[in-house]
Structure 1
Amino acid sequence: MTTAGLPRQECAVTVLGGPTAVIDIGGLRIVTDPTFDGASPHGYLTKTTGPAVSEDELGPVDVVLVSHDLHPDNLDERGRTFALAAPIVLTGPLSASRLGSPAIGLSCWTSHSLARADGDGELTVLAVPAIHGPEDGDRDADGHVNCEVTGFVLSGEELPTVYVSGDNASVGTVAEISLRVPDIDAAVLHAGAARVPTKFDGRPLSLDGHRTAAAAAVLGADIVIPAHYDGWTHFSEGLADIESAFREAGLSSLLRISNHGSWMPLRP
């Protein structure tokens, strides 16, 4: 595939594998949590598959969103190089301080506006909270479970409002976001029930299937795109578990699933 194989879309998303998604919205191309390494060990985590589309095949990218920089399943070596070559990286304050330019740190509930390439005003990126582990997990010196993680809400005039969760395990946090941003149309939810035996007694560090379905119900979104459930050995649930949970909850009509690298519209 060449860059022509992933042409710009009017308003769509594709998941490339792991947490990495490409969102085309408002004339902008946005990449989330870039992970472009091939299958390989990364310390205590092991990557089993590379992305469906390489970084060289994406063409020009306008913005990179990094939920957190400390874990290689959300920012691996090639992903870090890719992010730092982008015009702008939006992330949390601690991640921005470690990444350096062109990263901009956004505290929760603060936003950054970007000029839309379609000429229709601005796209607003709002930073929202995430809890990367159990609600009762020990907090670090900065008050975070596991580490600082940032989710994002994208919005603009005549555009769908899109929530990207980052690695969040808390339905309560999703409820808080829904109360503050009650008109979310589409959600990219990190699922997979990631588990590391040495952390929090092996309890999930991200949403399992049932909590992904619960998060979808709380948000009231018309479209739910699961991500971050494959490509690494520490995921304890896969796509079949997510589909089963949504079916049991009567929410299967919300799920949008396609082969990695294939586009899904962000409008119903």
Structure 2
Amino acid sequence: MSSPSPLPRRDGSAMVIGGPTTVLDLGGLRIVSDPTFDAPGPYGYLTKTEGPALSEDRLADTDLVLVSHDNHADNLDDRGRSFALAAPLLLTTTSGAQRLGAPATGLAPWETYPLRRPDGGELTVTAVPAVHGPEDGERDAQGEVNCQVVGFVLAGAGLPSVYVSGDNASLRTVAEIARRVPRLDAAVLHAGAARVPGKFRGRALSLDSVRAAAAAAVLGVPVVIPAHCTGWAHFTEGPEAVERAFDDAGLTSVLVTAAHGTWLPLTP
């Protein structure tokens, strides 16, 4: 049986294919964040309710995989892990890189990794902070809430600058990113208000819809693509809640959504 044909590239665009998993085509490079390709079903204490819009076979030409954290199946499942480890380059947390092994490279917050673009330019990937739970949540010995997580900022000359939040619930962290990154053109926000019984009194572990709208306002971005708000039973707010919150905030014009598997522009 022949392999499925690769997904045609569309530079300057993003595609959410399920859960947090997002394809970004930038500067001739294909980037996939938080790959999850397993079928629906129970995964420990989490339950997956939807499969991806595309199989990993369609993305075999990926140049870079970003993993905000490897600790939870809804951000890196079994097939996603195999996909990530087969990629030419995998960027993740410092602790995650130790667990995953080659080709994973760990980045601490505000550490930057440069990649050569096919056109001879450069794409820089900067790891940025994330707090995977309430700001006042109990912190471990390393100062992390829940576990170590990073987001990413992708930037390069002539390219839209894109923030991928990872599982961040902290508006204070978003404000820090807005202060330190001079220009952002688009944001992919994990906005499903993930909640797990017994953790932090059931408070959200990722942005809820209202805080996603607030994050968009703080960042001042003209394009916001919501992700990680369907596909798992512990997501408590879906696309309708996100759309309502952005409308309430007067920010509908920046919200860009479509069915999973649909290309979305990273510039207005």
* 3-state DSSP of counterpart to 1:3: coil
Unaligned runs of 5+ in 1: none
> TM-score, length-normalised on structure 2?
0.98
Q: TM-score, normalised by structure 1?
A: 0.98
Instruction: Tell me the amino acid that sits aligned with residue 107 of structure 1.
Output: A
Count of aligned residue pairs for this structure pair = 266
1:27-63 Cα deviation digits (max 9, x unpaired): 0000000000010111000001110000011231100
Distance 1:33 1:257, change over 3 A: same
Displaced runs of 4+ in structure 1, greater than 3 A? none
- Shift of residue 114, structure 1, vs aligned partner: 0.3
Per the alignment, in what secondary structure is the counterpart of residue 257 of structure 1? coil
Looking at structure 2, the residues matched to 120 and 230 of structure 1 have their Cα atoms a distance apart, in angstroms, of 38
Structure 1 vs Structure 2: percent identity of aligned residues? 64
Q: Compute the displacement of 1:197 (Å).
A: 0.8
Counterpart amino acid of 1:260?
H
How far apart, in 1, do the equivalents of 2:176 and 2:228 lie?
Answer: 22
User: 1:94 maps to which residue?
Assistant: 95
1:255 aligns with 2:258: no
- What is the letter of the counterpart of residue 225 of structure 1? I
Query: Is 1:212 paired with 2:219?
Result: no
- In structure 1, the residue matched to 2:59 is 58
Equivalent residue, structure 1, for 2:134 = 134
Q: Secondary structure at the match of 1:15?
A: strand
- The residue that corresponds to 2:110 in the other structure is 109
- Distance (Å, rounded) in 2 between the aligned partners of 1:177 and 1:147: 19
2:25 alignment partner in structure 1:
24
Contact 1:210 1:242 in 2 (8 A): yes
Provide the secondary structure at the position in 2 that maps to 1:23: strand
Counterpart CA distance in 2 for 1:219 and 1:202 is 27
| Cα deviation 1:199-258 (Å, max 9, x = unaligned) | 101000000000000000000001000000000000111000000000000000000001
CA displacement 1:164-183 (0-9 Å, x = unmatched): 00000011100000000031
Which consecutive residues of structure 2, in runs of 5 or more, have no partner in the other structure? none
What is the RMSD computed on CA atoms of the aligned residues? 1.0
* Distance in 2 between residues matched to 1:114 and 1:8, nearest whole Å: 18
